[in-house]
Structure 1
Amino acid sequence: MVTIYDIAKQANVSAMTVSKVINNTGKISEKTRARVKKIMEEMNYVPNSMARSLVLQETKMLSLLIPDITNPFFTTLARGAEDAAMRLGYKLLFGNSDESLTKEKEYVDMILSTRVDGVLFSAASDLSEPHLQTLRKHRIPFVLLDREVPGVESDAVTGNSREGARKLVEHLVGLGHRRIALVNGSLSVSTARDRLDGYKDALKLNDIPFDESLAFESSYKHFEDEGMLRRMLELPDPPTAVFAGNNFLAVGLIRKLLELGVKVPDRMSVVCFDDLGASVIDPFFTVASQPAYQFGAMGIQLLVDRIKGATTPEWKKLVLPSELIVRGSSGRPPA
């Protein structure tokens, strides 16, 4: 691990001078400051106040970075991660990116300065790849949770979104629906692409042609686009059912449908990915429920195994199944 003494030797200055550059104190020429900073960057040096941790090369701290702490799926995932971390003798630092790449980068910078032993990382989108490469550059182990990122190979715990989506749509087909809309998250997120593929799989298996006019892209965080919903309802042959890419999309959809006088499931069935638990919305959702707690707990175990060198060099990929739970939000299409 690079220390300030290594930097000082390379820059031909004293360790005190390096310390002043790091802390932005003291009188140092701009030329010297620039040279020291350049060497720090070249040697991948990360300032760290935890001296004892630098010596031991471990902090017994892990970080969990998730895209939306308000979503019950990620809340439960975080609880599973925390319980597993405590059981294994680690403390867990939480970060919530709010699906924002800017905020995610700020958390990655914090992770580097804190020098945690490893990170559980649920990416904001495919564009999170540089943030993960930064962690790899600084030799901080990470495990991807729920979402994969193109171009990044690592240990991962994901769900079978494609299979879960297929089950939900086939459930609707079994009830008699043929016009089934999809309101999905951004296709820059791997789970949204997988759920679109599962939706298409179910249609193809049941000889229902894919209709682009029934596939809508929104955000996993919320659904507030009444215009999108009106366009859906005003189609010449409108849908009788909607598959929502996650629970928050489903909540927003039902609220907007009720505001427009469309009863669920009498006039429109709604199904979604991920459970809401004790939902305040009536009817309860028909869902593809994922074992969120196990995502977090198994992710921590994979991460600790990687930190301790207790696993093989090959990356481990754990894919957890979803469970179809049929409730009151889905019914037969209107006559």
Structure 2
Amino acid sequence: MASLVDVARAAGVSTSTASRALARPEMIGAAAVERVRAAAAALGYVPNPFARSLRAQESKTLGLVVPDSTNPFFAEVARGIEAACFRAGYTLILSNSDRSLEKERQQARVLVEKRVDGVLLFNHSDASAATISWLREQGMPVVLVERRLPAAPGGLVVPGAPGAPGAPDPEGAGRLCAVDCVLSDNAGGVRAALEHLAALGHRRVACLAGDPGAWHYAERTAAFRHVAAALAFDETSEQDGPLALVQPGLTTYADGQRAAAELLAGPRPPTALFCTTDTLAIGATRGAALVGRRVPDDVSVVGFGGTEITGYTTPPLTCVVQEKLAVGTQAVRLLLRRVADRRRPNAEAGTGDVTHVVPTRLLVRGSTGPAPTRSPHAATGKRASALD
């Protein structure tokens, strides 16, 4: 295997000149750079990344922690992140937390031990604050992806962000921790979806929501309540019993299937289901079928995410599209800026934290239609027991 000394000898330059020609070509003349590159190509020279990282105090590697690598949404965002890393000359290490706070902490520690230059994090929940604080104590730049994080009492707050002084505060959201974030416009996406349903004549709309202990789900659920009230949608009443129109704490396809089936087989079924993730919407579509409800004739379904699979369901899902490639690109760009800031002499750590919000859009497909004019119970006698 050829060494840098071999390349320098073949190009007729010193070893230090050959090194600069490959790593910092702007520092020497173009002719020398061309000779060194030609020699390196002819000899099949491959730079030693470990030696380079020790000299430069950087590994050219970023870490990404996701809650579930099998979830299409995280996979699609990760694709955008990896593409942006590749363009910038970085390698990406993907870690899976399995929605476990303890495993998330362990993965964060492994990434620090691997000497990554920065970490991109889909944090498990708001309880991930301790992990994020630990990473920052290690001097590790961190960017949250599709997440925000409430601050502890008296903690730092992102200026101008929802939850900051003088800004709108989603129900139960509180103050925001000062950590860089890149995320989709949750509130705007919810509004677009509900206004679409209202235009179709729906007034009894249920929300299948995620874990209220995670900021992004709390934000979407709060936006649902706010917009639903503004549009004069039905509210949960005593007649609904335990079947509240807002069903929180749902995660999986099975959760969406079960919640949809129970609501649609109840005494006062909704005419539309707004789901805070595509996963729940796909599950809800199957849940509707299991109790004999047709989508969209008997019930409309809206997802949130815009993952590729939503175009291949039956019918294809109407959904709020999160621009996943744009989110990934922006997150990498912001993290690399923080990595560069850390190398600057006298850089002020922990200041100027930003929240970058990427616009969402509504993609209307076949899962939404006009509100039914007759009771769906007239169409079938099937009940939620079909799931048993």
Change in CA separation of 1:227 and 1:77 when aligned onto 2, cut-off 3 Å: closer
CA distance in 1, matches of 2:273, 2:285: 10
- The question of 1:81 aligning with 2:119 is answered no
CA distance in 2, matches of 1:112, 1:329: 45
Q: Which residue of 1 aligns with 2:184?
A: 159
Structure 2 length as normaliser, TM-score? Answer: 0.69
Structure 1 length as normaliser, TM-score? Answer: 0.80
Q: Which residue of 2 aligns with 1:295?
A: 327
- The question of 1:321 aligning with 2:359 is answered yes
Letter in 1 for 2:185: N
Q: Which residue of 2 aligns with 1:145?
A: 145
Q: Which residue of 2 aligns with 1:15?
A: none
- The question of 1:102 aligning with 2:102 is answered yes
Q: Which residue of 2 aligns with 1:113?
A: 113
Q: Which residue of 2 aligns with 1:187?
A: 212
**Count of matched residue positions in the alignment of Structure 1 and Structure 2:** 286
SS in 2 for 1:236: coil
Name which one, 1 or 2, has greater alpha-carbon Rg: 2
**Shift of residue 53 of structure 1?**
4.0
CA distance in 2, matches of 1:190, 1:83: 27
Letter in 2 for 1:140: M
**Shift of residue 115 of structure 1?**
1.4
Q: Is the 8 A contact 1:155 1:316 kept in 2?
A: yes
Alignment counterpart, residue 229 of structure 1, candidates 260, 275, 290? 260
Q: Is the 8 A contact 2:275 2:301 kept in 1?
A: yes
Percent pairwise identity? 35
Alignment counterpart, residue 215 of structure 1, candidates 223, 239, 246? 246
**Shift of residue 75 of structure 1?**
1.6
**Shift of residue 260 of structure 1?**
1.7
SS in 1 for 2:253: coil
Q: Is the 8 A contact 1:223 1:248 kept in 2?
A: no
Q: Which residue of 2 aligns with 1:270?
A: 301
SS in 1 for 2:315: coil
Change in CA separation of 1:255 and 1:227 when aligned onto 2, cut-off 3 Å: closer
Letter in 2 for 1:306: R
Q: Is the 8 A contact 2:321 2:360 kept in 1?
A: yes
SS in 1 for 2:143: strand
Change in CA separation of 1:225 and 1:143 when aligned onto 2, cut-off 3 Å: closer
Alignment counterpart, residue 171 of structure 1, candidates 196, 219, 227? 196
Q: Which residue of 2 aligns with 1:72?
A: 72
Q: Which residue of 2 aligns with 1:201?
A: 226
CA distance in 2, matches of 1:225, 1:73: 16
Q: Which has the higher contact order (CA 8 A, sep 6+)?
A: 1
SS in 2 for 1:224: helix
Q: Which residue of 2 aligns with 1:92?
A: 92
Letter in 2 for 1:259: L
| Matches for 1:244-283 after TM superposition, within 5 Å | 244-278=275-309, 279-283=311-315
CA distance in 1, matches of 2:249, 2:296: 22
- The question of 1:135 aligning with 2:166 is answered no
Letter in 2 for 1:158: L
Letter in 1 for 2:290: E
Change in CA separation of 1:315 and 1:225 when aligned onto 2, cut-off 3 Å: closer
CA distance in 1, matches of 2:78, 2:69: 8
Q: Is the 8 A contact 1:167 1:202 kept in 2?
A: no
SS in 2 for 1:69: coil
Change in CA separation of 1:305 and 1:173 when aligned onto 2, cut-off 3 Å: same
Greater Cα shift, 282-291 or 253-262:
253-262
Q: Which residue of 1 aligns with 2:168?
A: none
**Shift of residue 249 of structure 1?**
0.5
Change in CA separation of 1:266 and 1:324 when aligned onto 2, cut-off 3 Å: same
Give the gaps of 5 or more residues in structure 2.
1-49, 152-176, 238-243, 374-388
Q: Is the 8 A contact 2:264 2:291 kept in 1?
A: no
Q: Which residue of 1 aligns with 2:170?
A: none
Letter in 2 for 1:268: V
Letter in 1 for 2:298: R
**Shift of residue 272 of structure 1?**
1.1
Q: Which residue of 2 aligns with 1:23?
A: none
Q: Is the 8 A contact 1:65 1:94 kept in 2?
A: yes
SS in 2 for 1:223: helix
Q: Is the 8 A contact 1:162 1:196 kept in 2?
A: no
